[in-house]
Amino acid sequence: MSDPGPSPTPEEAAETGTLAASIALKQRAGGIIVPVVTVVFAFVMSFIIVAATQHSVHTALVVFKEIFLGSGLNWLAHPTTNTFTSISAYNLSQTLLQTTPLILTGLAVAFAFRCGMFNIGGNGQYLVGLIVANWLGVDFAGLNPFLHILLCMSAGTLAAAAYAGIAGVLKATVGAHEVISTIMLNWIAYWTASWLFGAGGALQNSTSPTNPVSNQVSPGARLPDFWGKQGFQGLHVGIFVSLAAVVVFWILLNRTTLGYEVRAVGFNPDAAAYGGINVKKNFIRAMAISGAFAGLAGTLDMLGGAQNYQVGQLDIPFIQVGFIGIAVALLGRNTAVGTLLGALLFGGLLYGSFHGLGSSSVIDPTLASNLTYIIQGLVVLFVGADVLILYVWNSRKKARRRPRGKPAERVEATT
Amino acid sequence: MNTWTARLENPLSARLRDPATTGAFGILLGAFAAFLAIPPIEARTVTWPILFGIVAAALGIWTVTRGRRRLGWGAVAAGLLGIGLGILATRSSTGNLESAFDATLVAQTLGFSTPLVFGAIGGMFSERSGVVNIGLEGMMLMGAFWGVYGADKGGSWAVGLLVAMGVGGLLALVYAFFAIHLRADQIVGGTAVNFLAVGITGYFFIELYNNNPIHNGVSLLPNVHVPGLPVNPDNPHGFVDFLGQAVGDLSILTWAGLALVILAYVVLFKTPIGLRIRACGEHPRAADTVGINVYVIRYGCVILSGMLAALGGIYLSEGPQGNGTFIFNMTNGRGFIALAAMIFGNWRPAGAAAAALLFGFSSALALKLQVYSQSAGTLFQILPYVLTLIAVAGVIGRTVAPAADGKPYAKQ
C-alpha cells in the first residue's frame, strides 16, 4: 500500500518499492536468466514433493515425463503426424486451448504492472467478459455469425474494461489501493455470476430451472474449431485473437504515446506528472485496458470452449484463469513475448497434469493437477524473490560507488 | 484533561446538538426501524420502519455536516437498511419471517463471524507491523486441512488446533522471510501463498485421504454450554430460551474469538509491545532508531497472523458447520472477507470485529433467505464486498492504513 516516493532513477526507485521501476531494473539485470532459474527451481521443488510423498524418485520422474507428454509438446519434435488422430497432436491442441485465455489474462496483469499497478482482479474481469458473452451469445440467436461473435466479444471486452475501470477511477480520485478494490470486484463478479446463472437467476438455463447452469451459447456465436476432430473440442480460432492481442500489447506499449505515458507513470508517477503527463487519467486508462484483455479472455472461453457456465465447486478451477495470469505475467517479465511463453508453460502444465496422467496408473490424476497449483505458487514466490539477487548485486555496486559513512540519503528513500 | 467537566458546564441543548449524539441516535433509530419489521413486533404496515429510517438518515446527514463523517454516514446507512428491511419484511408473510429472524440467526451470525474475526485480527497484527497480508486466505486454508489432519491422527481436537497453528505459522514464516528479509513485493508473495495453500492442501488431501471425505468420528471442536441456559429447547418460548438458542451452544472458538478481540485491543493499544508494533507499521526507521528490532517485530506479527488465520480455518473444517470434513478450496474467499473486515474496521480490533459480525450476519441471512429465494440469498453474499468497496472509496469516512504498510524495510 505504498505511495511511490520521488526517486530519480529506476535503481533508486527499486529500493523504494515502485513496482514497475523495480521490475524494469530486474529486466535490465536479470534478463531471461532469472525466470528460467525460477521455473527450474519450482519444478525441482515439486519434484522433491512428489518423490518424497510417493517414496520413489523413479515415480517422480515418470510423473513429470507424463505431464510433459500429456501437454503434447512432444508433437513439436516430430510434427510429421499432422493428423488429429495422433494423440500428441490432440494433446497439443488442448494445451493451446488452455493457453489461449492465459495469454490474455497474463497481458492484463502485465499491462497494469507497466503502469505501476497490480491488477489482481483478472478473475473478476474475466468473469464479466464471460457473463456478457453468454448473455449476448444466447440472445440475438439468428444474427449473422460473424456479427454475432464480434458483438459478443466487443461487448464483453468493453464491459470488463469498464469494470476494471472502477478500480482505476477509485485509485485516481480517492486513492483507494487497486489491490483491495480489485479483490472486492473479483468477489462481487463471482457472486453476481452465481446469482445470474444460479437457480432463479436472470440468465439461468431456461429448460431446466433447478439446474444452476447458464444457457448454451447459440451455435451461430460459437468460435469455429480449426484444428480438431468431429465430436471433440478442438482448438478454436480464439488463439489467433490472443496472438493478435500480444502484438497489440507490444505496439500499444512501445510504439504509441499512450504506451509511453503508461510506462512513464509506471516508472515514477511524480516525474511523469512533472513532465506534464496526466497521471490520474493514465491510472484509469491502464486499468481499463488491462480489464479489456482479461474480459476478452472470458469471451473467448465462453464462445469457444465452455459455452455455458456452471455454478458451484466446478467453477473454482475455471475462474483460476485470472489468477494464473499473475504468474504468467510475472514469469514473462511483463513483456509481450515473455507473457506468451509463460502462458504456454502454464497451459501445458494445466493440461499436461490433468490429462497426462488421466490414463496412468502411476499417480492419481487429481493429485497431479494439484501439482500445478504448487508449481504456480512456487513460481510466483520465487519470481518475487529474485529481488534478493538484484539487491545484493545492486547494493554491491552502490557500496563501491558511494563513499562510506554517508547512508543518510537512503534513509529518506526507504521510509 | 477537563473535557468532561467542560462538557457538563455546557447547556443540555448544546450537548444534544453535538454530532456524536445525533450520529449515535441516528444509528439507534435505523436499527429500530429494522427491528420494527421483524418479530416480536412485526409491524404489518411499511409506514413505521420507513418513518424511523428516514429520521435516522436525516440525523445522519446532520451529523455529517457537523464534521463527524464516519458516524453520520453510519447512521444514514442504518436508516436506509432499516427501510429496506422494513419493506422486505412487511411484504413477506409472517410465518416466513418468524423462521428467518429467530434466535438461530444470532447463533449463525456468531458462527459465520468466527473465522472472519480470527482472520481479520490476524491480518491486523500483520498490517499494523507494516506487512500486508494478502495470504490470509491461504493460511486459513492450511489451518482448515491440517487441523482436521491433526485431530484425526492425534485423536483430539486440541492436537488439531496445535497442528493448524503450527502449519499456519510455518507458512506465514515462509511468507515473512520473503516479505521481510528478501524484500519481495508483498502482494506478489501473498498471492503465491494463496496458490501454494490451494496446491498443498489439495495435494495432501488426495495423498492422505484419497479424495474421500474424512471418515466420521474425528474429534471435533467442542461447544461451550453456558450454565443455566437451555441448549436446545423443544418449544422455545421466552427470553431465556431465546438466549439459550442464541448463545447457549456456541463453539469454543467463537468465544475465543470474542476474547481475542479484547486481547488484541489491549495488546495493541495498552502495552509497550503494541506500541512497538504500531511504530514499525507507521515509521520503521524511527522505530529502528530508538532500538526496536523491526525485523523481529514484523516476523512475530506475520507468524501470529498465520496462526490466527489458521485458527479461523480450523473452525471451518472442525467447527459445527464443518463437522470434521475437508473440501478442496473450502475457504472460498473467507480469507478475503476477513481482509475486507479488517479494512472496513479501519485496522482496529473493535472495528474489525464489528465488520466481521456484520459480514457474518449477511452470510447468515443469505443462508436463511436461501430457503425462500435462492437468488436473494446469493445477493447477500455480495454485501460484504460492496460495503468494503464503498468504504475504501471513502464514502463512509476514509480508511487509513498504517503509513508503512506494505513497504519493505531495509536495515542500515
CA atoms within 13 A on the CB side of B341: 34
Mean pLDDT: which of A286-290, A391-395, B17-21, B324-328 is highest? A286-290
Q: What is the mean pLDDT of chain A?
A: 79
CA separation, residue A386 to residues A305, A383, B412 (Å): 36, 6, 21
| pLDDT value for A133 | 92
Residues of A in contact with B284 (CB under 8 A): 415
Closest Cα of chain A to B34: distance in Å?
25
Q: Mean pLDDT lowest for which of A176-180, A321-325, A386-390, B31-35?
A: A386-390
Which among B180, B375, B399 is the top mutation candidate for probing chain A, defined by the most A β-carbons within 10 Å of its own β-carbon? Answer: B375
| pLDDT value for A252 | 93
Using an 8 Å Cβ cutoff, are A169 and A288 in contact? no
Query: Residue B329: closest CA among chain A residues belongs to which residue?
Result: A316
| pLDDT value for B326 | 87
As a whole number of angstroms, the distance between CA B319 and CA B331 comes to 13
Which among A11, A16, A184 is the top mutation candidate for probing chain B, defined by the most B β-carbons within 10 Å of its own β-carbon? Answer: A184
Across the interface, of B191, B386, B405, the residue whose CB is closest to A120 is: B191
Closest Cα of chain A to B77: distance in Å?
20
| pLDDT value for B200 | 92
Closest Cα of chain A to B332: distance in Å?
9
Across the interface, of B195, B340, B408, the residue whose CB is closest to A184 is: B340
DSSP string, B232-254: S-SS--HHHHHHHHHHTEEEHHH
User: B264 Cβ partners below 8 Å, 6+ apart?
Assistant: B121, B124, B125, B349
| pLDDT value for B15 | 52
A293: pLDDT strictly greater than 60: yes
As a whole number of angstroms, the distance between CA A55 and CA A48 comes to 10
Cell numbers of A238, please? 480464439
Across the interface, of A53, A181, A391, the residue whose CB is closest to B207 is: A53
The full set of domain ranges for chain B reads 3-98, 102-392
CA separation, residue A352 to residues A46, A65, A69, A323, A341 (Å): 15, 10, 7, 19, 16
A4: pLDDT strictly greater than 60: no
| Inter-chain touch B389–A181, beta carbons under 8 Å | yes
Across the interface, of A174, A326, A374, the residue whose CB is closest to B203 is: A374
User: Average of pLDDT values for A370-374?
Assistant: 83
Torsion, Cα A137 A139 A141 A147, to 10 degrees, reads -60
Closest Cα of chain A to B8: distance in Å?
39
**Cross-strand partners of A213:** A310
| Inter-chain touch A184–B389, beta carbons under 8 Å | yes
Which among A16, A187, A357 is the top mutation candidate for probing chain B, defined by the most B β-carbons within 10 Å of its own β-carbon? Answer: A187
User: Average of pLDDT values for A33-60?
Assistant: 83
Residues of B in contact with A402 (CB under 8 A): none
| Inter-chain touch B211–A366, beta carbons under 8 Å | yes
Chains A, B: CB pairs < 8 Å: 190
| Inter-chain touch A180–B285, beta carbons under 8 Å | no
| pLDDT value for A249 | 95
Across the interface, of A187, A384, A415, the residue whose CB is closest to B189 is: A384
Pairing of strands A235-236, B249-251: unpaired
Q: How many helices (H) and strands (E) does chain A have?
A: 18, 2
CA separation, residue A12 to residues A140, A262, B64, B180, B325 (Å): 55, 20, 43, 19, 50
A15: pLDDT strictly greater than 50: no
| Inter-chain touch A376–B405, beta carbons under 8 Å | no
Residues of A in contact with B206 (CB under 8 A): 364, 366-367, 370
User: Average of pLDDT values for A334-348?
Assistant: 91
As a whole number of angstroms, the distance between CA B202 and CA A322 comes to 19
User: A193 Cβ partners below 8 Å, 6+ apart?
Assistant: A127, A130, A131, A309, A311, A315
Count of beta carbons in the 10 Å neighbourhood of residue B156: 13
Cell numbers of A72, please? 503434447
| pLDDT value for B268 | 94
Torsion, Cα B30 B32 B33 B37, to 10 degrees, reads 140
Phi, psi of A235 (to 5 degrees): -85, 120
Using an 8 Å Cβ cutoff, are B37 and B85 in contact? yes
Query: Residue A197: closest CA among chain B residues belongs to which residue?
Result: B375
Report which of residues B395 and A411 the model is more confident about.
B395
Query: Residue B400: closest CA among chain A residues belongs to which residue?
Result: A176
Burial of A361 per CB tally in 10 Å (0-12, 13-18, 19+): exposed
User: A31 Cβ partners below 8 Å, 6+ apart?
Assistant: none
Across the interface, of A17, A374, A411, the residue whose CB is closest to B196 is: A374
| pLDDT value for B13 | 45
| Inter-chain touch B195–A191, beta carbons under 8 Å | no
As a whole number of angstroms, the distance between CA B153 and CA A201 comes to 43
* Helix (H), strand (E) at residue A165: helix A145-174
As a whole number of angstroms, the distance between CA A112 and CA B379 comes to 30
pLDDT-derived band of residue A36, with 50, 70 and 90 as boundaries?
confident
Phi, psi of A123 (to 5 degrees): -55, -50
Residues of A in contact with B203 (CB under 8 A): 49, 53, 367, 370-371, 373-374
| pLDDT value for B113 | 93
| Inter-chain touch B199–A372, beta carbons under 8 Å | yes
pLDDT-derived band of residue A240, with 50, 70 and 90 as boundaries?
very high
User: What is the residue-level pLDDT of chain B in tens, covering all 412 positions?
Assistant: 345 445 445 555 455 445 567 667 777 777 777 777 666 555 555 456 666 766 666 666 656 555 566 777 777 677 777 767 776 665 555 555 555 556 777 888 899 999 999 999 999 999 999 999 999 999 999 999 999 999 988 888 999 999 999 999 999 999 999 888 887 888 888 989 998 999 899 889 888 887 677 766 788 888 888 777 777 666 666 677 777 777 778 889 999 999 999 999 999 999 999 999 999 999 999 999 999 999 999 999 999 999 999 999 999 998 887 778 888 888 888 999 899 888 877 788 887 887 788 788 778 877 776 666 666 667 777 877 877 787 676 554 455 678 888 788 877 6
Reported residue count of chain A is: 415
pLDDT per residue over B261-298, tens digit each? 999 999 999 999 999 999 999 999 999 999 999 999 99
A408: pLDDT strictly greater than 50: no
Kindly state the percentage of chain A with pLDDT values over 70.
77
Three-class secondary structure of residue B184 per DSSP: coil
User: A110 Cβ partners below 8 Å, 6+ apart?
Assistant: A249, A329, A332, A334, A335, A336, A339
Three-class secondary structure of residue A214 per DSSP: strand
As a whole number of angstroms, the distance between CA A381 and CA A384 comes to 5
| Inter-chain touch A407–B412, beta carbons under 8 Å | yes
pLDDT-derived band of residue A412, with 50, 70 and 90 as boundaries?
very low
As a whole number of angstroms, the distance between CA A354 and CA A364 comes to 10
User: B40 Cβ partners below 8 Å, 6+ apart?
Assistant: none
Across the interface, of B188, B198, B340, the residue whose CB is closest to A384 is: B188
User: Average of pLDDT values for A65-90?
Assistant: 73
Cell numbers of B154, please? 492425534
CA atoms within 13 A on the CB side of B129: 30
As a whole number of angstroms, the distance between CA A246 and CA B19 comes to 56
| Inter-chain touch A180–B283, beta carbons under 8 Å | no
| Inter-chain touch A22–B393, beta carbons under 8 Å | no
* Helix (H), strand (E) at residue B225: strand B223-225
Can you tell me the ipTM of this complex? 0.80
Query: Residue B133: closest CA among chain A residues belongs to which residue?
Result: A1
Q: What is the separation, in whole angstroms, between the first and last Cα of chain B?
A: 41
Three-class secondary structure of residue A236 per DSSP: strand
Strands (E), A173-248: 225-227, 235-236
As a whole number of angstroms, the distance between CA B133 and CA A156 comes to 32
CATH of region B102-392, choose from 1.10.3470, 2.60.120, 3.30.1380, 2.40.128 = 1.10.3470
Across the interface, of A199, A376, A391, the residue whose CB is closest to B195 is: A376
CA A30 to chain centre: 21
| pLDDT value for A371 | 82
Which among B187, B330, B331, B372 is the top mutation candidate for probing chain A, defined by the most A β-carbons within 10 Å of its own β-carbon? Answer: B187
Three-class secondary structure of residue B224 per DSSP: strand
A415: pLDDT strictly greater than 50: no
User: B238 Cβ partners below 8 Å, 6+ apart?
Assistant: none
Amino acid at B318: E
Domains of chain A: 10-402 (1.10.3470)
A283: pLDDT strictly greater than 80: yes
Residues of B in contact with A195 (CB under 8 A): 375, 378-379, 382
As a whole number of angstroms, the distance between CA B170 and CA A1 comes to 24
A413: pLDDT strictly greater than 70: no
Pairing of strands B223-225, A235-236: unpaired
User: B386 Cβ partners below 8 Å, 6+ apart?
Assistant: A184, A188
| Inter-chain touch B206–A200, beta carbons under 8 Å | no
Residues of B in contact with A385 (CB under 8 A): 178, 182, 184, 189
Amino acid at B177: F
User: A58 Cβ partners below 8 Å, 6+ apart?
Assistant: none
| pLDDT value for A296 | 95
